Structure 1
Amino acid sequence: MLKQIRLLILITLAMGGSYQPADAAAKPNVLFLICDDLNCDIGCYGHPQVKTPNIDRLAKRGVRFKNAYCQYPLCGPSRASFMTGMYPDQTLVRTNPVFVRQMVPNVVTLSQLFRQNGYFATRIGKIFHYGVPGNIGSSGHDDPYSWDLAINPRGRDKDDEPLIFSVKPGEYGGYLSWLAAEGEDREQTDGIAVRTAARLIAEYGKTQKPFFLAVGLYRPHTPYVAPQKYFDLYPPEEMTIPEVPEGYLKTLPVPAQKKLTKKKEHFNLSKPLARQAKQAYYAAVTFADAQIGIVLEALEQAGLSDDTIIVFTSDHGYHLGEHRHWLKTTLFENAARIPLIIAGPGIQAKGQSTSSLAELTDLYPTLAELCELEPPANLSGVSQAKTLSDPSRQARTSALTQLKLNYSIRTPQFRYTEWGPQGTEGVELYDHQSDPEEMKNLAENPEYEQVRQKLSRLLRQRVVEANRAPAGIKQVHFVGD
């Protein structure tokens, strides 16, 4: 495999790749690690059950963002957003099966900026959208301009698909589905991906040239596939399923109700089935953590840990029965909030956490600043570099998330959501000081009227900003946009 990787690099260079000599000491490397559909149910975020020792160790080396949010709770729009540093209303990517350059053909993506500045950019696995599990082993909706080298691993999880249980037989990616697999980690797609990454890192350690390495894991996205030993860590009887009181749905706007009940196979799951689903999700999380550990260990072995900025995150959050919902695509905290850890050179606040609000759009300007690169003028995110030195600094006053043309903002205390143009289809307001689970909609409470009006003005201001034409970017509008 190492000979094959070397050959791929040589072929890439021969075909005009941008792997140019540069002063490695002056240019920190970037290792971008992203899980698919991972919420904040992990150890370093305070979860009492989920075992994520490798992510937890990374958090001790860097800064953990307690309040980081995606811009769209669906894989394709979210990934197009953070890879361009623009909002979904600017990329015009608001659904999954879209190539980013269909909508913004002249955009310079995050990794492309690094390519233009002498870095060798490699993608392994899922960074832009892939249908899971359908597109595993292919290029999916990848952007070839973003990489010098792209690797599409394919493991036995693809071959084992007929063995997968699904609440809707034959449907895997968009429905609750899982498999306690036979065999070893290294046979799974993610196991192949991280071992390939480890070999590349060893090669980079010898060349001492700057790199941008993006490793996108498919887990814990459905189907939750992991070797049996990970399932054994989470007995179903120990899984707690959130309770939802009778009449709760009627407290929500009609569009929010429809989002929660859209897939009848997921609504009001029996307790035994719900516990099995949660067991499988947590098994997939711990499996993913083990794979991340392999990449981090390879970085240590190559002597590159002190020279590499490491970003760990997810594309969006995830429901595990909260609000009677499973999976994603809501405007609740569960779907919008994501884990985010940044570690490496230039990050002084090691082992600390910050309450500073952050968005995934912030990754692009933050990495550009940390690596002293000039970012393009079209970016909408803000740099979190100062927060990485002083976690008490607040880079934002709110974080924006949207679902189609419905919008929600999170402030330090509140979540406020409007459905339909200017809230014509309903409004939600939650006070996180008294209701962190977002179960008590205060939008009609007269005691919160001034708060609601203030947040409505802020939200509409944020929506206007998120719709501004990005500088220098051609947008391809289709009928209906």
Structure 2
Amino acid sequence: MKQPNIILIMTDQLRGDCLGYAGHPDVKTPYLDTLASKGVCFDRAYSACPSCIAARAALHTGMEQSHHGRLGYEDNVPWNYANTMAGELSKAGYYTQCVGKMHVHPLRNYLGFHNVDLHDGYLHAARYGSVPYRESQFVADDYFYWLKQELGVTADVTDTGIDCNSYLARPWMHEEKYHPTNWVTDRSLDFLRRRDPNRPFFLMASYLRPHPPFDAPQYYFDLYKDKPLREPFVGSWETEEYLRKDGRIFDSKTGPIDKELARQAMIGYYACITHLDHQIGRLIMALIEQEVYDDSVILFTSDHGEELCDHHMFRKSRPYEGSCHIPFLIAAGKNVLPDLKSSSTCHAVVELRDVMPTLLSIAGAQIPDSVDGSCLLPLTADPSASVRPWLHGEHSYGEFSNHWIVTETDKYIWHSATGQEQYFDLKEDPHELCDRIDDPDRQNRIHELRGHLIDCLKDRTEGMSDGSRLIPGRPYPVTLPHATAR
């Protein structure tokens, strides 16, 4: 049987609910909505360690976080993994190409890809201080190298005055064709032009947006700037302590204290999403026009979400839905995956570690023993099926460090620095407005989920569990030593 082409469309910091097909009342995503109508949407998809590096380690290795060794965000740690998604697909006969974000170390580590057209966004650690010449983003990043050639040596994505983690928003200052979102599509189309037509390909189109800066072209800002927008979700359990202390521009762990700035952030975020959708549409149209769509499988997802002022928070790394709930869909052309139930929704809890075994199965390749994830192909044929009853998520994040257990219907959260617990009934309360940790009718369920977390942590080196209870305040590293040696 002919191996299908595989296209992985990866985004950065895209919430699971900020899509038209997911029911968002404001965001317009016509191309992704169409793709969703032709595939299976997984509406309980999560990023188990929701920030860029750890999430991408799960994606590229198929491992859960204690096995790949990334428990949070730390740059400049080498990526030395024996088995990677692109490496295994290359062994299976695929020509493998990534365009856009990798966020690995060293920057030109290909992780098994035959070729990478790299753009990692604005990485502080690869720009300043004692960065070796070959590791400087001005040298290693293909987009920045190209932008310098096109617009001059001083051109940069922060020329608008917006930091790469900021909630500030303003339109892109150059012609749209120079935007990094357009660049990823342009380079992906160039790959399709020059590919070997006799060989199956794996293309990872890895977009930076809607990760800040919120700098979509003016047209996309105009779509949202005069619209009434849904307010951020703020429940009964939050306080404004951190918002009042940190709700200014130089600490974006919270949203802005100024409600107009919060509205501008939403406008900028939504503008980036619709711009992204249109560029994904260009890529899909090219697949159709070049007559490869019918022989291809498309998987669309994101590395993590964005709190976007929900619960007074901003960015990611938190255990709440805005941060850790991600989009995830699988669609296929008419000549592949004949059992796929198009225009259906699967409520199973899935995670980024499931991408690698799923794509390897599609390719007919063996799944390495190191992989913890599950193949999701049976769920595309039977969306009522499941691959796990619950998922353990976590993030090392200083005073905000957290662990959580999520199921198809509810979530238990343990804040490991303080010992604070939370419980949310996601079926009744999908936006986590009411913390039911003290509800007497929920104590048996909370005890059950807490027990899962105790078991997950009992054999780990941090000492957060002794097998019978959770122990707060233990040292919680961002990266485990074996992350550089697997």
TM-score, normalised by the number of residues in structure 1 = 0.81
Aligned residue for 2:40? 63
* Displacement of 1:71: 1.4
3-state DSSP of counterpart to 1:319: coil
Distance 1:370 1:246 in 2: 45
* Displacement of 1:356: 1.4
Question: How many residues were matched structurally?
Answer: 424
Residue 325 (1) aligns with residue 313 (2): yes
After superposition, where does 1:18-417 map in structure 2 within 5 Å?
26-40=2-16, 41-98=18-75, 102=78, 105-129=80-104, 141-152=107-118, 153-154=143-144, 155=147, 159=155, 161=157, 163-166=159-162, 172-204=163-195, 207-236=197-226, 238-242=228-232, 244=234, 248-249=238-239, 264-265=248-249, 266-344=254-332, 345-346=336-337, 348-404=340-396, 406-417=402-413
Please tell me whether the aligned partners of residues 164 and 223 of structure 1 are also in contact (alpha carbons under 8 angstroms): no
Tell me which stretches of 4 or more aligned residues in structure 1 moved more than 6 Å: 257-261
* Displacement of 1:98: 3.8
Residues 245, 366 of structure 1: CA spacing in aligned structure 2 closer, same or farther, 3 A cutoff?
closer
Please tell me whether the aligned partners of residues 408 and 418 of structure 1 are also in contact (alpha carbons under 8 angstroms): yes
| Cα deviations by residue, 1:107-139 (Å, 9 ceiling, x for unpaired) | 21101101112111111110335xxxxxxxxx8
Please tell me whether the aligned partners of residues 313 and 341 of structure 1 are also in contact (alpha carbons under 8 angstroms): yes
* Displacement of 1:92: 1.4
* Displacement of 1:327: 1.6
AA matched with 2:71: R
Distance 1:173 1:94 in 2: 22
| Cα deviations by residue, 1:343-395 (Å, 9 ceiling, x for unpaired) | 11215211211111111111111111122110110111111110011111112
* Displacement of 1:179: 2.5
Residues 315, 466 of structure 1: CA spacing in aligned structure 2 closer, same or farther, 3 A cutoff?
farther
Aligned residue for 1:451? 445
3-state DSSP of counterpart to 2:208: coil
* Displacement of 1:174: 2.1
AA matched with 2:402: N
Whose helix fraction is larger, Structure 1's or Structure 2's? Answer: 1
Please tell me whether the aligned partners of residues 177 and 277 of structure 1 are also in contact (alpha carbons under 8 angstroms): yes
Distance 1:392 1:261 in 2: 46
3-state DSSP of counterpart to 1:147: coil
Residues 106, 83 of structure 1: CA spacing in aligned structure 2 closer, same or farther, 3 A cutoff?
closer
AA matched with 2:171: A
Distance 1:362 1:114 in 2: 15
| Cα deviations by residue, 1:279-329 (Å, 9 ceiling, x for unpaired) | 000000011111111111111111111211111110011112110112212
Residues 203, 268 of structure 1: CA spacing in aligned structure 2 closer, same or farther, 3 A cutoff?
closer
* Displacement of 1:202: 3.1
Residues 61, 434 of structure 1: CA spacing in aligned structure 2 closer, same or farther, 3 A cutoff?
closer
Percent identity between matched residues is 26
Name stretches of at least 5 consecutive residues in structure 2 with no aligned partner: 119-142, 462-479
Distance 1:260 1:375 in 2: 49
AA matched with 1:425: G
Distance 1:259 1:425 in 2: 22
Distance 1:393 1:465 in 2: 30
* Displacement of 1:258: 6.5
Residues 260, 442 of structure 1: CA spacing in aligned structure 2 closer, same or farther, 3 A cutoff?
farther
Distance 1:462 1:259 in 2: 33
Please tell me whether the aligned partners of residues 69 and 483 of structure 2 are also in contact (alpha carbons under 8 angstroms): no
CA RMSD of aligned residues (A): 2.8
AA matched with 2:445: V
AA matched with 1:151: D
* Displacement of 1:461: 3.1
| Cα deviations by residue, 1:13-32 (Å, 9 ceiling, x for unpaired) | xxxxxxxxxxxx52111111
Residues 245, 312 of structure 1: CA spacing in aligned structure 2 closer, same or farther, 3 A cutoff?
closer
| Cα deviations by residue, 1:149-177 (Å, 9 ceiling, x for unpaired) | 111234489825454244xxxxx122213
Name stretches of at least 5 consecutive residues in structure 1 with no aligned partner: 1-24, 130-138, 167-171, 251-256, 468-474
* Displacement of 1:418: 1.4
AA matched with 1:457: G
